[in-house]
C-alpha cells in the first residue's frame, strides 16, 4: 500500500515538474511556426538566445515593427497574429 502511495506521489511530482517545461516548449514551437515566414536569420538567432518566454519575444518584434512602420501597419500583422 505504501509503495503505491509513493509511486502515485512520484508520478504527480514528475507531472508538476515537467508541465511548465512542456508548456514553454509548446509556446516556443507555436510562436516560431507563426513567425517563420517573416523572420530574418538575425531574428531566428535572437529567438534561440532569448531567455524570456516566446510570447514576449513576439511582442518585442511587434513593437519593433510598429516603431519602424507606424501603428496598425499591414507589415506588422504577422507579428500581431503570433501573439494570439
CA distance 2 to 18: 24
**Local confidence band at 3 (pLDDT 50, 70, 90 cut-offs):** very high
pTM greater than 0.85 (yes/no): no
CA distance 6 to 42: 48
In this structure, is the dihedral angle defined by the CA atoms of residues 77, 30, 59 and 51, taken in order, positive or negative? negative
Residue 28 — φ and ψ, nearest 5°?
-60, -45
* Predicted pLDDT of residue 11: 93
Residue 20 domain boundaries: 2-81
pLDDT, tens digit (0-9, with 9 covering 90-100), for 30-83: 999 999 998 999 999 999 999 988 999 999 999 999 999 988 889 899 999 888
In this predicted structure, the answer to whether residue 10 has a pLDDT above a threshold of 90 is: yes
CA distance 23 to 38: 24
Number of domains in the chain: 1
Amino acid at each position: 500500500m505504501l509503495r503505491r502511495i509513493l509511486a502515485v506521489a512520484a508520478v504527480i511530482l514528475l507531472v508538476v515538474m515537467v508541465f511548465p517545461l512542456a508548456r514553454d516548449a509548446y509556446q516556443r514551437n507555436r510562436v516560431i511556426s507563426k513567425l517563420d515566414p517573416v523572420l530574418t536569420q538575425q531574428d531566428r538567432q535572437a529567438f534561440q538566445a532569448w531567455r524570456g518566454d516566446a510570447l514576449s519575444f513576439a511582442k518585442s518584434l511587434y513593437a519593433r515593427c510598429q516603431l519602424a512602420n507606424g501603428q496598425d501597419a499591414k507589415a506588422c500583422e504577422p507579428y500581431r497574429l503570433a501573439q494570439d
